[in-house]
Amino acid sequence: MSPYFFIPLVSWAVLAFIMTLVFIWALRIKNYGVVDVFWAFDFLVIAAIIWFLADGFALRRHIVCGLAALWSLRLGLYLSKRVLGHLHEEEGRYQQLRTEWGTSKFFIFFQMQAFSNVVLSIPFFIIALNKTEALSVIEYIGAALWFISICGEGLADRQLQQFKKDPANKGKVCQAGLWNYSRHPNYFFQLSIWISVFIFALPSPYGWLALICPLSIGYLIFKVTGIPMTEEQSLRSKGEAYKEYQRTTSIFVPLPKKK
């Protein structure tokens, strides 16, 4: 079997098993929000699988696996603090879904998360299987932008985390640092990550297939589980304070606040 099919299939099988165990655990603790944590760490699992099974140029494989692992660990550890530190309190988005979905729908949701991990890793598979023994300028640019985006996403998450730590900010809207210019700087850098991965993958055979990642992530961020659900929850929890924030701050791209 071609490695272009074998490695993704192995990854999907492993992640489907992991997400089944996570679903069983989520049922026991009555907190479906843990799926976010394991979705993030699943990319670390995929990076390890690629590391051992892919046979592309070593330097290229090391870079893509290293950056994927770095991003997965950063996001996974951040979400672990947010979710695993409050297992008794399910995140508002999942409380809302709990009222709308049954157990079977949540199981399918967990499995679809595993499938999305594999689909979003298409660029990783493509890059790691490229045997060309030299990196192009485009690949270096893509890798550099990927690293910068990981740092930007981490900065935005840290600024929000520090804001929430202060009891005096309970019920208030974070407007510190990047959050003063954009309502969703974390999503901005998240989308930037996948655009960077697409750039990195372009010189590789079948690299154009990596376009599915920024398109999919962009759709989810703008239309499904990203901005819409986040803003709905913020309006429920912060009311008029968040409405004012919406009126004065860009939805996504960091732009100067309106006077």
Same domain membership, residue 196 and residue 115: no
Same domain, 32 and 112: yes
Instruction: Tell whether 111 and 160 lie within a shared domain.
Output: no
- Tell whether 110 and 8 lie within a shared domain: yes
Q: How far apart are CA 39 and CA 71, in angstroms?
A: 12
For the stretch 8-38, pLDDT in tens is 999 999 999 999 999 999 999 989 999 999 9
Q: For residues 87 and 148, state if they share a domain.
A: no
Q: Does one domain contain both 151 and 234?
A: yes
**Confidence at residue 211, expressed as pLDDT on a 0 to 100 scale:** 95
Query: Where a domain ends, among 115, 134, 153?
Result: 134
- pTM, two decimal places: 0.85
User: Where in 93-184 does DSSP place strands (E)?
Assistant: none
Residues 145 and 110 in one domain: no
Out of 134, 161, 185, a domain closes at 134
User: Does residue 121 have a pLDDT over 60?
Assistant: yes
Contact 61, 54 (CB under 8 A): yes
Cβ atoms within 10 Å, residue 249: 20
Same domain, 53 and 66: yes
Question: 169 and 112, same structural domain?
Answer: no
Which of these, 163, 172, 168, lies nearest to 242 by C-alpha position? 172
User: What is the number of structural domains in the chain?
Assistant: 2
What is the tens place of the pLDDT at every residue in 57-92?
999 999 999 999 999 999 999 999 888 877 888 877
Greater confidence, 209 or 230? 209
pLDDT at 252 (0 to 100): 66
Do 147 and 117 fall within a single domain? no
258 and 153 share one domain: yes
* Residue 34 belongs to domain spanning: 1-134
Domain boundary among 101, 134, 167: 134
Same domain, 157 and 259: yes
